[in-house]
Amino acid sequence: MIDDIALTGERQAAARRLLRTPVLSWRTHPRDLALVRAHSDWLVQRFRRVLGYELVVEADHARLVKAGPPGDAPPPRRASGAPLTPRAYAYLALTLAALPECGARTDAGELAERVRAAAAEAGLPHDPRARAAERRAFTAALRHLASWGVVAERGEGALDDHAAGTAPAVGLDVDAEAARRALAHPPHSASGPAEFLRSARDPDPDTDDEGEVALRRLLAEQAVVYREDLPERQRGRLARHQWRAAAELGALLGCETEVRAEGVALVMPDGDPDGDEEAHLPGTGPEGRAALLLVRGLAGRVRPPATPARGAEVPEGVLAEELDAALPAGPGRGDLRERVLRRLCEAGLLRAVEPGGDGGWELLAAAARYGPERPRIRDNGPDRPVPAAAGTGGSSGTDESGGR
């Protein structure tokens, strides 16, 4: 029995890691890759059945091929937590196009030339060798690919030297197969970005079976799913199938599910060995700590509405006071403020009424769990307990430190 629990825990930990990090390489995540390979048959079958995702497991890497991003998905991030700039993101795509033509060993100068050629073929003016700003954006893309294990720098700190312009020919090791698999949905003919994204993800499928899979994907990928944000058909499916979805996702991921009148959220277990702490609130570092302090302060002062509405207005003065209390003094405070607000928005806890926050802010219903009095879990029907997810024990899922 203990062995069965341990086996289930290992499989669920591997599934959570793949969901957070869909490209695992022996260079960047050797222990996680070994765990995925040990349970590859179970993971391949479960991901396909529960979420409709394909998992490819090779000797040196694993790739979970997911659907298109749910809604306004957060952009790729630098190691600092700042999002990649549009130019760096363009270099990421161009570098992935160029890498399969490289050998197992190349250097940044040769790769930059191939990227320039790929950009010219696409009708883009990008050239990593043109000026310092271009080189830094190109290096940011290389660092992102290095975090996936697609490339590896030969020599510690070599990419920093390349960004500074002191090492134009930094040596790189290339995993061409991982580069080919890095794009979950390779580009194809489409009239524009919106059509391409729709082809990768249908937010409102016609059939109930496809609709259930789409809902499970949304619950697994999005911090909180608010009922009012769903199309009418999906809102009805969520009401009918939410407990079945909770059981399926609990068995795959070892998570618990909070179901309330306003919406549904998964609560992932804490303490994953070598886990990605930034996937959870509070997370690590000043950004995570400030985000937790801010949402706690706001939840203590702004009461969510009594009806199952999505959120409550945050008075401008209250937000300013709580930000002042949550953010440490020192340089970079303005940048940290933007990152903290963005993090809470991505977590489904805060929302800008208008883009940029110029129209004010709303504290969303899920933030109530960080307040002094956490409300009881409730369905949009009669109150009922949340079933314990497989392998997690029987807690209610309202642990203050839990999250995504």
What confidence tens digit (pLDDT) does each residue in 257-275 have?
A: 988 888 999 888 864 444 4
At residue 253, does pLDDT exceed 90?
yes
**What's the rounded Cα separation, in Å, for the pair 30 and 18?**
13
* Sequence-distant (≥ 6) Cβ neighbours of residue 357 within 8 angstroms: 341
Task: Determine the 3-state secondary structure of 263 from DSSP.
Answer: strand
The Cα 153–Cα 172 span in angstroms is 5
What pLDDT sits at residue 122? 87
List residues bridging with 55 in a β-sheet: 64
Domain ranges within the chain, ordered by starting residue: 2-65, 86-182, 201-404
pLDDT number for residue 378 = 40
Q: How large is the average pLDDT for residues 64-76? A: 70
* Predicted pLDDT at 15: 96
Amino acid at 345: C
Is the pLDDT confidence value at 279 over 50?
no
Percent of residues, the chain, with pLDDT higher than 70: 78
> Is residue 399's pLDDT more than 50?
no
Q: Which of 243, 223, 230 is nearest to 349 (CA)?
A: 223
Q: What pLDDT is stored for residue 383 in this prediction? A: 36
Q: Give the pLDDT band (50/70/90) at residue 388.
A: very low
Name the least confident of 137-141, 221-225, 398-402.
398-402
What average pLDDT does range 180-204 have in this prediction?
A: 70
Q: How far is CA 218 from the centre of its chain?
A: 12
370: three-class secondary structure by DSSP: helix
Distance (Å, whole) CA 320 – CA 314: 10
Phi and psi torsions of 194, nearest 5°:
-60, -45
CB 377 within 8 A of CB 396: yes
Q: For residue 130, what pLDDT is reported?
A: 85
Q: How far apart are CA 37 and CA 31, in angstroms?
A: 10
Model confidence at 297: pLDDT above 70: yes
Place of tokens 């277990």: 269
Strand ordering across the sheet containing 54-57:
23-25, 61-65, 54-57
User: Of all helices (H) and strands (E), which one includes residue 325?
Assistant: helix 316-326
Average pLDDT over residues 25-47: 95
Distances (CA, A) of 306 to 6, 188, 310, 318: 42, 48, 10, 20
Q: What mean pLDDT is reported for the chain?
A: 81
For range 228-239, the mean pLDDT: 92
Of 400 and 121, the one with more pLDDT: 121
DSSP 171: E
- At 74, which amino acid appears? P
The residue count of the chain comes to 404
Q: What is the mean pLDDT of residues 280-289?
A: 72
Residues 363/298, Cβ–Cβ less than 8 Å: yes
Which amino acid does the sequence have at 283? G
CATH code of domain 86-182: 1.10.10
- Torsion 69-75-78-82 (CA) sign: negative
* 398 — pLDDT class (breaks 50, 70, 90): very low
Average pLDDT over residues 20-42: 93
Task: Judge whether 264 and 239 are in contact, CB under 8 Å.
Answer: no
The DSSP output letter for 51 is I
* Residue 403 per-residue DSSP state: B
In this model, does residue 71 exceed pLDDT 70? no
Interval 338-364: pLDDT, tens = 889 988 988 889 999 887 667 789 999
Average pLDDT over residues 230-259: 93
Encoded amino acid at 13, one letter: A
- Tell me the three state secondary structure of residue 400: coil
As given in the structure block, the two tokens for residue 104 are 């197992």
Where is average pLDDT lowest: 66-70, 84-88, 103-107, 149-153? 66-70
Cα–Cα distance measured from residue 342 to residue 290, given in angstroms and rounded to the nearest whole number:
12
The yes-or-no verdict on residue 379 having pLDDT over 50 is no
Q: What is the DSSP string of 235-271?
A: HHHHHHHHHHHHHHHHHHH--EEEE-SSEEEEEBPS-
Cβ neighbours around 191 below 10 Å, total? 7
The 3-state DSSP class for residue 45 equals helix
pLDDT band, residue 222 (cuts 50/70/90): confident
Q: How confident is the model at residue 205 (pLDDT cuts 50, 70, 90)?
A: confident
Residue 396 has pLDDT above 50, yes or no: no
Cβ neighbours around 77 below 10 Å, total:
14
The per-residue pLDDT for range 150-170, each reduced to its tens digit, is 898 887 668 888 888 887 788
| Of residues 289 and 307, more confidently modeled | 289
Q: CA neighbours within 13 Å on the CB side: how many for 346?
A: 22
* Strand, coil or helix: 7: helix
Cα distance between residue 111 and residue 95, in whole Å: 8
Cα–Cα distance for residue pair 166/132, rounded to 1 Å: 11
Name the band, by pLDDT with cuts 50, 70 and 90, for residue 68.
low
